[in-house]
Chain A
Amino acid sequence: MTPLVSVSNLRVAFRLGRESTVEAVRGVSFDIPANTTVALVGESGSGKTVSAMSILRLLVAHPGRLRQIRGRDITAVFQEPMTSLNPVFTVGDQIAEVLQLHRGLPRRQAFEQTADLLHEVGIPEPRARVSAYPHELSGGQQQRVMIAMAIANQPKLLIADEPTTALDVTIQRQVLELIARLRERHRMSVLFISHDLALVGEIADQVVVMRDGEVQEHGPVERIFRAPQHPYTKGLLACRPRLDVRPRRLPVIDDFMRSTEPKDPGPLERPSEASTVVEAKGLRKEFRLKTGLFSSKALHAVREVSFSLARGRTVGLVGESGSGKTTVGMLLMRLLDASAGEVRFEGTDLLALSDRQMMAYRRRIQVVFQNPYASLNPRFTIGQMLTEPMRVHRLGANETDRAERARRLLQRVELPPESFHKYPHEFSGGQRQRIAIARALAVEPEVLICDESVSALDVSVQATVLNLLLDLQEEQGLAYLFISHDLAVVKYMADEILVMREGEVVERGPSEALFRAPRHDYTKNLLGAIPRGIEGRV
């Protein structure tokens, strides 16, 4: 049987400036058979998106035919539904336009079909939703609308480029199921692009593993998961934290690439009894939303959240977007003012302190943010960045001493000493996150808040940063508040877990027990939605 699409020896190069070019895709070949899901898996910069998008361009030599094929035979769904939909047109307008354009349907008929399509992608009250604007829908619903638009013309191939990455885990699962169902019903092929191997295992029939613009391994999903051949694939599979074991350190891809498969490091040892450093009691945060000229409404971002952080131990805060988990971290550091509650740092209520008194405690609680590209000032050298906090808190005898300390910090987070004079743009995401960690450590804190600190990183880099965080915790007895939407990572890092939903803690408990026997329905939902690779097939 001839494949629907056959890609052979695809090369894509981009121009950088006047002379230099960079090859993003270097001789990639794979087939997409009819009625199958092929997944392109790889980390950022592996060339997976570029390869997929080239299909749209290369397929037809004739530019006139391109417009016909694109949007009818081949359609695409992208990562950010928010930016893919035009905010000034209704959902109906946008879907109907596709039908009118490619099938020449009259307007009324197009709108009727639109309602059917919305029903098919599982949007409640589809007739009413036809006239809704994109902002009236949730992120998951927006992505469903994008999918409806993509399948409107019965395409033969749907390219889904990280379609669930911007969505919450529970929604991710639903969208995944939707795509699988639609593929079945419309007998089309899906080219599914993702960085998450576990997710791909749930939906793909064929997997293409890419790295640095080259195909590393290619095969049916069963084989890729059960018997991976290439060390890179093995590494990718191993470096994600697993739910069933908690090793002392996570394996990293470099070990596999050097073909020294790591020995079993043994289970992670945790201090059982430890002294409490910070105790948060009844934290509340309300935002006032103006609803009219004089009226306003309270939005409860956080209600009655209590927990305590102990030396050398980690509390995990899990929840989907909008659950208020980041707000809790901000309240703890007083980057936001709490509406009620107290934060006791060794007995002193931080929320009652003046700004001047707070300065002493600023040093003792530090934070590492999510986005390593935004959290470092692009106009500062790494040296400036690391010595500034010491200067603010009068640590170190003089500038030479501070520079010396900064160099030691760089060494500690495994960055070369030359980094001292460099600027952030010269580092990769993982290295930047190490710099952010080094900056937080510069003031010798006792509590570190990790606010989605590894969420923006590639899986392989994620493992190394998590290992670094564990090392630091062991050495310095740091107390972590680990905030994340990623249950597997939180399960690995945390000793105690708080599950948050709409500002409330719905369930809490030791991480093992919570994962083994969740009590609350929401927790069960969350756990059920974790991608499990081949075991969790849709």
Chain B
Amino acid sequence: MSAVIPAPQLPAPAPARSPGVWRAAWQRLRHDRVGMACLMIVGAFAVLILIATLGLIAADWQREVGLPYAPPAFVGPDRDEAQQAIAAPKGPPVDLSDVDPLAPRYAEWRERAARFQTAETVKSPTLPFGGDRLGRDVLAKAIKGAQISIFVGVFAALLATLIGTVLGALGGYVGGKVGDFLEWVYNVFTSIPDILLIFAFAAVFGRGIETVILILGLAGWTGMYRQVRAEYIKHRTREYVRAAEAIGVSHRARMFVHILPNVSHVILVRLSLLVVGFIKAEVILSFLGLGVPVDQVSWGTMLAEANVELVLGKWWQLAAATAFMATFVTAFSLLTDALRDALDPKLR
């Protein structure tokens, strides 16, 4: 015998949230092999930078842990060091007190010096990726340099994006007199050669990380402005914006709630291009001595040191900085390409 038990009233299953535009873009990105590889490399750099910022690695990059110009471990220690050193004197001891006026005081100084403890640090003859002029670890420098360079690149790009987007949105959406004025500002800015503009800012603001960010941000917003403005002009007359107007949505909401998400992919791609460009710009600035302060290290300062070292045959600092920078910049650029394809599939 069976009894009919009324089925318990189950709550209706929550309707599955459908993939939004971003989700769909992510799906497309996942199918892009090059893009995913690059994303992993960029992600690895991000992790590296995070660890470095927390001070877990490369915090003591300024310690002179190796001999000056200690070669990389995989090359091995300098064997010809002994031959190059001056041979030990072989003649009889000579009293120099009549030659050296300070000779009588040596004993006294030695006595005073003995009152302090001196610790002889053992300097390693090789380092994982060699050492610089002062025997600092090049690998640690490169990691610390990555932190500073990428930090500068990303924040300068964010600043430029903020300026470019806000001005571009205003210029494109409002148009008229405001648009004309912004165009005028834009024209003035772009009529000055970029590098000159950067030098001018650098000369005025002095050195420092914040300054570099400010300089690059202030000098680099024009491209973003131009593109965002064009997008806003295009979208301003689209029917969905018209429909929002018909509903009574305010200008500000139309600009930033309705249109902005629709141009955000353009901004994102441009932003990543700016990051790459600004990392390179920071390197140039630091190389020229206008970048980060002397007590800090970036890929640019490493390269600036490298040109002296290269004459002496010490190639590893140049190699380390270049390898780091090339890897990151290439991966980031390719990722940008993949991102553009993923966000705007119509392009393909």
Whether A379 contacts B261 by the Cβ 8 Å rule is yes
A 294-326 contacts with B by CB, 8 A:
none
- When C-beta atoms are compared, the residue in chain B nearest to A18 turns out to be B31
Is B63 positioned at the interface, with any CB of A under 8 Å from its CB? no
Chain A residue nearest to B248 in the complex (CB): A362
Chain A CB within 8 A of B240 CB:
yes
Interface centre among B244, B245, B248, B249 (most CB of A within 10 A): B248
A422 to B23, alpha carbons, bound, how many Å? 12
A256 at the interface (CB under 8 A from B): no
CB atoms of B239 and A369 under 8 A apart: yes
Kindly state the separation between the CA atoms of A439 and B247 in the bound complex, as whole angstroms: 9
Decide yes or no whether B242 CB sits under 8 A from chain A: yes
A374 touches B238 (CB 8 A): yes
Question: Shortest distance in angstroms between B259's beta carbon and chain A's nearest beta carbon?
Answer: 9
Known A389-B248, A392-B249; judge A423-B21 contact (CB<8 A): yes
Given the complex of chains A and B, what is the CA–CA distance between A218 and B327 in angstroms? Answer: 62
Interface residues of A, count at CB 8 A: 36
Q: Which residues of B contact A388 (CB under 8 A)?
A: 244, 247, 249
**A367 CA to B242 CA, complexed, in Å:** 9
Give the CA-CA distance A367 to B262 in the complex, in Å: 22
Please provide the chain A residues from 346 to 391 with a CB less than 8 Å away from any CB of chain B in the complex. Answer: 359, 362-363, 365-367, 369-371, 374-381, 388-389
Bound together, the chains give a CA A443 to CA B247 distance in angstroms of 8
Main secondary structure of the interface of B (DSSP, over half): helix
Cβ of B20 < 8 Å from any Cβ of A?
yes
Docked CA distance A362–B246 (Å): 6
Complex Cα spacing A361 to B286, Å: 61
- CB pair B21–A392 under 8 Å, yes or no, is no
Alpha-carbon separation in the docked complex, A445 to B55 (Å): 62
Across the interface, which residues of B come within 8 angstroms of A377, CB to CB?
Answer: 240, 244, 258, 261-262
Give the complex CA separation of A436 and B19 in angstroms: 21
A333 CB–B CB distance under 8 Å? yes
- A425 contacts across to B, CB distance below 8 A: 21
Contacts of B114 in A (CB 8 A): none
- Sampled A-B contacts (30; CB under 8 Å): A18-B31, A335-B242, A335-B245, A363-B248, A365-B246, A367-B242, A367-B243, A369-B239, A369-B242, A369-B243, A374-B238, A375-B240, A375-B242, A375-B243, A378-B240, A378-B262, A379-B262, A380-B258, A388-B244, A388-B247, A389-B248, A392-B247, A392-B249, A422-B18, A423-B19, A423-B21, A426-B18, A439-B243, A439-B247, A443-B247
Having A18-B31, A333-B246, one finds 18 other A-B pairs with CB under 8 Å, namely: A359-B248, A362-B246, A365-B246, A369-B243, A375-B239, A376-B243, A377-B244, A377-B261, A378-B240, A379-B21, A379-B262, A388-B247, A392-B249, A418-B15, A421-B17, A423-B21, A426-B18, A436-B243
